[in-house]
Structure 1
């Protein structure tokens, strides 16, 4: 789904095939395409029959930046079952303790999973090391991947005239001192991104932040379907350009046009947020997250065809977006 591509899917869903091809070509020329997946983490198929698994990595820095603090705090496995009409956004905890393979300047060893991107050098090489780490942990191989500049999504949200976010408990921003009161409210790009960055003083800590990030992506898709942008060629061009500039993608050799056509049946009604069964643990005065009972079969379900059944049997870890 590549989430960013999923946003464009919603926008183009009602467009005739000829128009879709023209717009898909424009979108493909806007986005950056790189080999984000390590060969060991990549599937060897290019069909879109499903089920499909994509890796989505979110960062406040543009892919390719060489400055410090290259860690990523948003790691999502996007699972799309056969039929391609529903999707599961599986949030991998940023502090999950994993074994990270060796890379240039990194001898290999255990650390938080959000450091894998940094140890790989960020950008393309960082994403490859992260994908290898995830595949070794879960056994999942990916059909594609995307690096999303979450800061860049601010302009996308503003072009959508904001998104509707439902705040469940009071959230105070440690960055701006903004206070988000409970209730559903329209947020512009700055407010929405500020909100989904917060994790301190939340009842569920980082688990709540994962849910808020999932909700934001769902809200963007929902808002895109509500707006009149599909009938406004200027707005559509601006939005496609903004989405494209926020993404670096690896489609595993699948043309963007084919991906958009295959996934245009997705809607926000069919999206579920999933948290990995896990629990916090302090080790040597450092806070980590450990898998609960090996993830309670979640990764087996994502690798196979039983994700809907797993979600039904584990409602504690599943959220309707």
Structure 2
């Protein structure tokens, strides 16, 4: 995820203008932003139109590109400042969908891990390869048709790559993407500096030579190259890419809080810098009417954006065994992903109500340090809401307890943890499922780091209302 963490910034940079009338006078300054025909005329939403699937859905894509918006390579000095090498690729290293339900201001953003193994034209592959595949196929088609203008080939190929990415996300999530925004390394660097830095919090000191990360424990303000390193770091993180996704989310939530604050909006110089950064480094679909978007986003507050990740079946899926036993991907279940995405706006694809989404509390009756927190992390990655870790009296076997109305979800949780015993119980609080991990528990999360659980061991919900400490 070399360009991870920068993609929602472009959208949030425009969301800020929804907060005040000042936005209407400054919005015209964004007329110079680069556009691309990603959506297609037949799929364009009309101004003021309520999307049929119940939400306005925006796909934010981050590409590992070392070029500026004119396609010119970034200078060696700038690449050194960014702490990246000269070679990029055509992978979409970050994919985040912003869901804005019709008629509400409850905004949800969710990440799709870059290595998610999904179906696409030509077979199954990692989702981040869709862009490069679509781009290469269109370039070859044009050359075979006799086109010799390289500039035309390049632009058409980029559009095809963006459309291919949009399509594979739609197929996986069951969501119709209404708008598209794309940024690269340079955009993240410039936008994060334009807002004067973002506050983040770490559970411990951490370093990673590959990304240039070198951070201390606790709360700190980062921008520019440090901000890029913060969201690029993968080494020295317990869950590697999944923890890096969480890094993106807490950074972006904090960014949203700052951008939507009165201090930023009331500072014409900061707003001007933000607008110029967006214009220099962001690509939007050419059907996106920003003034209409501003009207839809009026009323969103600093705490009104919630972040999550699609459910993950197996983060270490050996998809190419036995020929390539070390190759791994992130296994996702399309049915689970569709239910998760639909549940964010309270509906399923069929129009029926979403099943109850319980809070899962995990009690450690095994005695292994940090076990409850690790299992909560596993369940969060599978789309459940993490509750509280606790310690229980020693017992040999594990059990999942739930109230009668959550029997189906309780059974699903038991299955996800390796087939645990289930028990309906009136003592479990409404809206909760209780997992008790016994001495013989060996399911997901059983093995992992040592040490007693600390304040940051449980994945706290991420919103733009405050700072959450992470690894």
TM-score where L is the length of structure 2: 0.59
Q: How much does 1:230 deviate?
A: 2.9
CA–CA separation in structure 2 for the residues paired with 1:183 and 1:264: 34
CA–CA separation in structure 2 for the residues paired with 1:30 and 1:311: 45
Q: How much does 1:185 deviate?
A: 0.8
CA–CA separation in structure 1 for the residues paired with 2:168 and 2:243: 24
Task: Give deviations 1:196-237, integer Å, cap 9, x for gaps.
Answer: 011223112111111111222222222223464433434322
Aligned to 1:315: 385
Answering whether residue 229 of structure 2 is matched by residue 194 of structure 1, we say yes
Answering whether residue 34 of structure 2 is matched by residue 32 of structure 1, we say yes
Answering whether residue 215 of structure 2 is matched by residue 180 of structure 1, we say yes
Task: Give deviations 1:27-66, integer Å, cap 9, x for gaps.
Answer: 1x131121223679x4655535452111111123256859
Q: 1:21 aligns with which of 24, 27, 31?
A: 24
Q: 1:282 aligns with which of 318, 328, 333?
A: 318
Give the secondary-structure state (helix, strand or coil) at the position aligned to 1:79: strand
TM-score where L is the length of structure 1: 0.84
Give the secondary-structure state (helix, strand or coil) at the position aligned to 2:328: strand
Which segments of 5 or more consecutive residues in structure 2 lack a partner in the other structure? 1-6, 73-86, 136-156, 359-383, 387-458, 464-471
CA–CA separation in structure 2 for the residues paired with 1:194 and 1:211: 14
Give the secondary-structure state (helix, strand or coil) at the position aligned to 2:270: helix
Aligned to 2:101: 81
Higher fraction of helix = 1
Contact 2:195/2:270, CA 8 A, preserved across alignment: no
CA–CA separation in structure 1 for the residues paired with 2:356 and 2:232: 26
CA–CA separation in structure 2 for the residues paired with 1:53 and 1:23: 24
Contact 2:117/2:331, CA 8 A, preserved across alignment: yes
Contact 1:153/1:243, CA 8 A, preserved across alignment: no
Answering whether residue 371 of structure 2 is matched by residue 301 of structure 1, we say no
CA–CA separation in structure 2 for the residues paired with 1:164 and 1:298: 29
Q: 1:5 aligns with which of 5, 11, 15?
A: 11
Q: How much does 1:246 deviate?
A: 2.4
Q: How much does 1:295 deviate?
A: 2.0
Give the secondary-structure state (helix, strand or coil) at the position aligned to 1:152: helix
CA–CA separation in structure 2 for the residues paired with 1:318 and 1:292: 24
Q: 2:199 aligns with which of 156, 159, 164?
A: 164
Contact 2:211/2:233, CA 8 A, preserved across alignment: no
Aligned to 2:116: 96
Q: 1:293 to 1:71 in 2, by over 3 A?
A: closer
Single out whichever of 92-101 and 76-85 deviates more from structure 2: 76-85
Single out whichever of 81-90 and 70-79 deviates more from structure 2: 81-90
Q: 1:194 to 1:68 in 2, by over 3 A?
A: closer
Single out whichever of 270-279 and 295-304 deviates more from structure 2: 295-304
Q: How much does 1:193 deviate?
A: 1.0
Aligned length: 309
CA–CA separation in structure 2 for the residues paired with 1:168 and 1:293: 33
Contact 1:145/1:249, CA 8 A, preserved across alignment: yes
Looking at CA atoms only, which structure, 1 or 2, has the larger radius of gyration? 2
Answering whether residue 237 of structure 2 is matched by residue 223 of structure 1, we say no
CA–CA separation in structure 2 for the residues paired with 1:124 and 1:257: 24
Answering whether residue 278 of structure 2 is matched by residue 243 of structure 1, we say yes
Task: Give deviations 1:71-125, integer Å, cap 9, x for gaps.
Answer: 0110011111233422211111111111222xxxxxx121100011111227322
Single out whichever of 285-294 and 298-307 deviates more from structure 2: 298-307
Aligned to 1:105: none
Q: 1:289 to 1:58 in 2, by over 3 A?
A: same
Aligned to 1:113: 127
CA–CA separation in structure 2 for the residues paired with 1:265 and 1:36: 28
Alpha-carbon RMSD: 3.1
Which segments of 5 or more consecutive residues in structure 1 lack a partner in the other structure? 102-107
Answering whether residue 129 of structure 2 is matched by residue 59 of structure 1, we say no
Single out whichever of 283-292 and 170-179 deviates more from structure 2: 170-179
CA–CA separation in structure 1 for the residues paired with 2:128 and 2:302: 27
Task: Give deviations 1:134-168, integer Å, cap 9, x for gaps.
Answer: 22223211111111224322122222221101123
CA–CA separation in structure 2 for the residues paired with 1:166 and 1:88: 22
